[in-house]
Structure 1
Amino acid sequence: MAQHSLTLVVLAGGLGSRFGGNKQIAEIPTLGRTIMELSIADAVKVGVSQVVIIINQKIRAELEATILPRLPDDLDVVLVEQSIDALPDKFSHLAADRIKPWGTGHALLCAKPYVHNPAIVITADDYYGDTSFEIVAEHFKHSTQWAMVGYPISQTLSDEGGVNRGLCEVDEQQQLTNVIEYLNIERENATLYGDTPQGKRVAMTDDSLGSMSFWGITPDVFNYLESGFFEFLESNDNGVTKEYYLPDQIQAAIQGKHQSVIVYKAQSPWYGVTYKSELEKVSKKLYELYHGRNSSHRPSAIKNEE
């Protein structure tokens, strides 16, 4: 097995219900590339030599036919299917009634056999900006702590409706202490408002940092994910609807004082497609971004195709 100093794990197994279809492999029309490919290009520039992509079986054929041939030949790319029946034997019966994937915590757990070094974990349908990859790559040069890049909430809103975001609470050492999920965040007049987990509508500051699922982890994360998943499956009413979320398990590791997570503020804009109607607007912004960054008008670390 090849040795790697830094890995990129891309979570691309979700179904994207609000978007309507597999948005993880929807191309940016103006670039002829997916958001995932742009992120991989940014990761390669900071030294990533292995990419582990967690997928559902439905997109494998299209991904192998269209996306993989566009990636650099020397990049170690591993496709891992997040299957519903990937369960401990004790719980194999739960797969029969399950429709959706088990969640982001389970998705990352599927990467365990392939990740043996620090890794950056992202979702396939979010564009994080090249500086976020630079920040976490630099972090791992001098630290074994976990890390995350948080984005000002005001920069992650949608014109199409309210958004749900995990707001980060940090201490004086810039370590993450809590992530609280706020729902239906949108601007009302000049102020941001969101619903707390208790359903209370509250104001929030524009520079509050939100977790957009950009994590820096080390292989010991899999120990927490395995034990946590076992506990999740033993809990009540999880066979059909509940999901095993990665942020919850990172939170548990923090609260148990098993790990600490350094929070860095993003230096680049975040672009994401929650609703299909946003694709054109995001496409325009990403095209302009790469126009300015790359004189060839093509993202680096992606093959040219004429």
Structure 2
Amino acid sequence: MTQHSLTLIVLAGGLGSRFGGNKQIAEIPGLGCTIMELSIRDAIKAGVSQAVIIINKKIRAELEATILPRLPKSLEVVLVEQEISMVPEQYSHLTKDRIKPWGTGHALLCAKPYVKNPAIVITADDYYGASSFEIMAKHFKNNNDWAMVGYPIKNTLSEQGGVNRGVCEVNEQQQLTNVIEYLNIKLEDKTLYGDNPQGKREVISNEALGSMSFWGVTPNIFNELEIGFAQFLEHNDNGVTKEYYLPDQIQTAVKNNQQSVMVYQAQSAWYGVTYREELEKVSKKLYELHHGRTTSNHSCSNAF
């Protein structure tokens, strides 16, 4: 395998239930490409030379036919199918009634055989901005700690309904101390509210940073994920609906192993699509952002 200094891992295996389809491969009207391709372009400019894309098998054929030909030949691309059956043998009985993928923690674990160096981890349907990739590339030039780019939660809301966010707590050294998953976050009378893990509705600070799944990790995370996934399967014996979330596992590593995770505040806007109704608005924003950097036909295939 080719040696790489920096890898991009794209989590594209979710089913997009609220979106109502495979939003990972939904093209942006006017740009002729997906959000994932814009992120890959930004990552390449920041120094990434390998992309490991975690997918569900339902989108493989379309991805290979439409998206991969538009990526630069110099980029090593690895497609990895996230299968429900990919569990330790002693837990195989839990897979028979499982419909949804196991979650983002399991998706990242699927990349283990292909990642031998620091990696930036993103989701396929979120646009993070070019500066976030530059921040992470600079981080790994100076140290081997994990890292994340956090986005002000107040700037990541949806007009279509409540959103779920990992709310970050940070110490004086700008290191992550906690990620708390809040559900159904929305503005109510100009105040930010969300449901805490106990289901209680409470106020969220206007200055709070959210984890939008933009992580910087090193290969030692895979050992943590393997241990955590086995524990997850052991204690969730129905195995049908609960998900193995990546932020939970990063938080566990922070608390149990004194793993340092540097937190950088985003310098770019975040754009994401949770609901199909948001696609047109997000598409317009991304078109405006990239209009000056694409060719006359505004095709991503010519933008690398």
Contact 1:193 1:202 in 2 (8 A): yes
- Answer with 188-197 or 267-276: which moved more: 188-197
Residues 82 and 227 (structure 1), Cα distance of their counterparts in 2 relative to 1, 3 Å cut: same
The residue that corresponds to 2:137 in the other structure is 137
**1:242-264 CA-partner distances (Å, limit 9, x unpaired):** 11111111111001134110000
Contact 1:7 1:119 in 2 (8 A): yes
Residues 297 and 207 (structure 1), Cα distance of their counterparts in 2 relative to 1, 3 Å cut: farther
- Deviation, structure 1 residue 119: 0.1
Amino acid in structure 2 at the alignment position of 1:269: A
Say which SS state the counterpart of residue 256 (structure 1) adopts. Answer: helix
Matched-pair identity in %: 75
The residue that corresponds to 1:3 in the other structure is 3
Task: Name the TM-score, length of structure 2 as normaliser.
Answer: 0.96
Aligned partners of 1:264 and 1:90: how far apart in 2?
A: 40
Residue 90 (1) aligns with residue 90 (2): yes
Contact 1:71 1:303 in 2 (8 A): yes
Aligned partners of 1:250 and 1:209: how far apart in 2?
A: 16
Amino acid in structure 2 at the alignment position of 1:98: R
- Answer with 268-277 or 226-235: which moved more: 226-235
Residue 304 (1) aligns with residue 302 (2): yes
- Deviation, structure 1 residue 295: 5.8
The residue that corresponds to 2:201 in the other structure is 201
**1:219-245 CA-partner distances (Å, limit 9, x unpaired):** 000000011111111113342111111
Aligned partners of 2:132 and 2:233: how far apart in 1?
A: 34
Amino acid in structure 2 at the alignment position of 1:130: A
The residue that corresponds to 1:156 in the other structure is 156
- Deviation, structure 1 residue 60: 0.3
Report 1:175-186 matches (<5 A).
175-186=175-186
- Answer with 81-90 or 215-224: which moved more: 81-90
Residues 42 and 287 (structure 1), Cα distance of their counterparts in 2 relative to 1, 3 Å cut: same
- Deviation, structure 1 residue 22: 0.4
Contact 2:30 2:298 in 1 (8 A): no
Aligned partners of 1:184 and 1:118: how far apart in 2?
A: 33
Residues 53 and 295 (structure 1), Cα distance of their counterparts in 2 relative to 1, 3 Å cut: closer
**1:153-196 CA-partner distances (Å, limit 9, x unpaired):** 11100011111111100001000000111121111222222222
Contact 1:290 1:297 in 2 (8 A): no
**1:107-135 CA-partner distances (Å, limit 9, x unpaired):** 00100000000000000000000000000
Structure 1 residues without counterparts, runs of 5 or longer? none
Report 1:251-266 matches (<5 A).
251-266=251-266
The residue that corresponds to 1:231 in the other structure is 231
Contact 2:94 2:237 in 1 (8 A): no
- Deviation, structure 1 residue 206: 2.2
The residue that corresponds to 1:21 in the other structure is 21
Aligned partners of 2:236 and 2:162: how far apart in 1?
A: 30
The residue that corresponds to 1:60 in the other structure is 60
The residue that corresponds to 1:120 in the other structure is 120
Aligned partners of 1:162 and 1:89: how far apart in 2?
A: 38
Say which SS state the counterpart of residue 11 (structure 2) adopts. Answer: strand
Number of residues of Structure 1 aligned to a counterpart in Structure 2: 303
Amino acid in structure 1 at the alignment position of 2:214: F
The residue that corresponds to 2:278 in the other structure is 278
Amino acid in structure 2 at the alignment position of 1:296: T
Aligned partners of 2:191 and 2:137: how far apart in 1?
A: 35
Amino acid in structure 1 at the alignment position of 2:182: Y
**1:50-109 CA-partner distances (Å, limit 9, x unpaired):** 000000010000000000000001110000000011111111222211111111111001
Say which SS state the counterpart of residue 139 (structure 1) adopts. Answer: helix
Say which SS state the counterpart of residue 51 (structure 1) adopts. Answer: strand
Structure 2 residues without counterparts, runs of 5 or longer? none
Report 1:22-41 matches (<5 A).
22-41=22-41
Aligned partners of 2:35 and 2:26: how far apart in 1?
A: 8
Aligned partners of 1:148 and 1:250: how far apart in 2?
A: 10
Contact 2:32 2:298 in 1 (8 A): no
Say which SS state the counterpart of residue 230 (structure 2) adopts. Answer: helix
Task: Name the TM-score, length of structure 1 as normaliser.
Answer: 0.96
